[in-house]
């Protein structure tokens, strides 16, 4: 197509307008779109809200100074309400890992921006499959027909996440010999040691001294309490890292807001960790940018929840019922 009958001056004016618009877009700042940055935090039940917000005020003020923009904290009594707040428009929220996975499963409108590190610089912990030291079990497939000691129905590392990953490896719950249910991962390990199960699910950092049960986790506590010798057990399988809860941001937030907030949070955690601890005090290793794939196992777990329940026993036939 040829350009005909168009004055050169008009072309020049159009080019200048396009150039000015491009420059304006480049110079546009997220603060114009988001004049008040709202950040969601869990404050606990309503009577504690004012106290929790007052306690977190130094964090809010420090972020406001670093970002050069107004910052407001949005209180939520629990993670369910915090998820709802972010789903309906709060740009940033301090979520637990499972809350993030649940929210992402509902709406891929959020993404992990930063993940806190533990004092040992790890980003989380792992689910582990423990077997007796002399057991032949060395793979997930070898659990077929075996008795597996698990924790309570809502346990992530002690039940839900590993069972979801086992399904991905071709081992469904009904292919196990039995789920030996216990109240905690430590009780599950004790059931295995007592011969009531062939293997047990627990959690561990898998860092540090193996003889001490590693640096954190069920084995470490049991070794410290004199209830376990690492010579008696073997780790037959380990999950990917189960990450710490992220600072999540809405995917539709401006890119420069994401970059500025991430930089401010990392800097604040490094220079004044006691201030960040006011809203996220469980971790001591600062923050790093979050890789979205880090949360894939938890999202998979949420998607597979209907597959993770043990089969319902068949009811006895009427003529087999006990007449008493």
- In CATH terms, the fold of domain 124-240 is D-Maltodextrin-Binding Protein; domain 2 (3.40.190)
pLDDT at 9: 40
Residue 280 Cα distances to 52, 171, 287, 313, angstroms: 12, 37, 11, 43
Q: Tell me how far apart the alpha carbons of residues 34 and 249 are, in angstroms, rounded to a whole number.
A: 13
Q: Which CATH number fits domain 31-121+243-293+302-306: 3.30.1280.10, 3.40.1160.10, 3.40.190.10, 3.10.310.70?
A: 3.40.190.10
pLDDT at 2: 31
pLDDT at 104: 95
| 163-190 pLDDT tens trace | 999 999 999 999 999 999 999 999 999 9
Do 124-240 and 31-121+243-293+302-306 have the same topology in CATH? yes
pLDDT at 47: 85
Q: Which residues of the chain have pLDDT under 50?
A: 1-27, 312-324
pLDDT at 311: 53
Domain spans in the chain, listed from the N-terminal domain onward: 31-121+243-293+302-306, 124-240
Q: Tell me how far apart the alpha carbons of residues 114 and 291 are, in angstroms, rounded to a whole number.
A: 8
pLDDT at 8: 35
């Amino acid at each position: 197509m040829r350009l005909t009958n168009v004055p050169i001056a008009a072309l020049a004016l159009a080019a200048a307008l396009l150039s000015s618009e491009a420059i304006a877009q480049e110079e546009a700042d997220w603060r114009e779109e988001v004049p008040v940055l709202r950040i969601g935090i869990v404050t606990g039940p309503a009577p504690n809200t004012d106290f929790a917000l007052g306690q977190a005020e130094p964090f809010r003020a420090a972020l406001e100074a670093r970002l050069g923009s107004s910052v407001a904290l949005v209180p939520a009594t629990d993670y369910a309400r915090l998820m709802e707040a972010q789903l309906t428009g709060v740009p940033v929220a301090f979520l637990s890992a499972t809350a993030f996975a649940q929210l992402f499963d509902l709406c891929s409108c959020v993404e992990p921006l930063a993940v806190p590190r533990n004092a040992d610089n790890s980003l989380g912990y792992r689910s582990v499959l423990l077997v007796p030291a002399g057991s032949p079990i060395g793979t997930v497939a070898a659990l077929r027909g075996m008795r597996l000691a698990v924790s309570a129905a809502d346990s992530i590392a002690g039940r839900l996440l590993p069972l979801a990953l086992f399904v991905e490896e071709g081992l469904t719950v009904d292919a196990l010999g039995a789920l030996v249910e216990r109240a905690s991962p430590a009780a599950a390990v004790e059931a295995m040691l007592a011969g009531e199960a062939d293997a047990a699910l627990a959690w561990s950092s898998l860092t540090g001294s193996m003889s001490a049960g590693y640096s954190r986790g069920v084995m470490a506590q049991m070794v410290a309490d004199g209830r376990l010798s690492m010579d008696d057990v073997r780790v037959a399988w380990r999950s990917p890292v189960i990450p710490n809860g992220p600072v999540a941001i809405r995917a539709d937030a401006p890119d420069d807001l994401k970059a500025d907030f991430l930089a401010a949070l990392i800097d604040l955690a490094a220079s004044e960790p006691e201030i960040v601890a006011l809203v996220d005090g469980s971790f001591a290793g600062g923050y790093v940018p979050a890789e979205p794939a880090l949360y894939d196992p938890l999202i998979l777990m949420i998607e597979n929840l209907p597959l993770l329940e043990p089969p319902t026993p068949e009811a006895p036939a009427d003529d087999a019922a006990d007449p008493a």
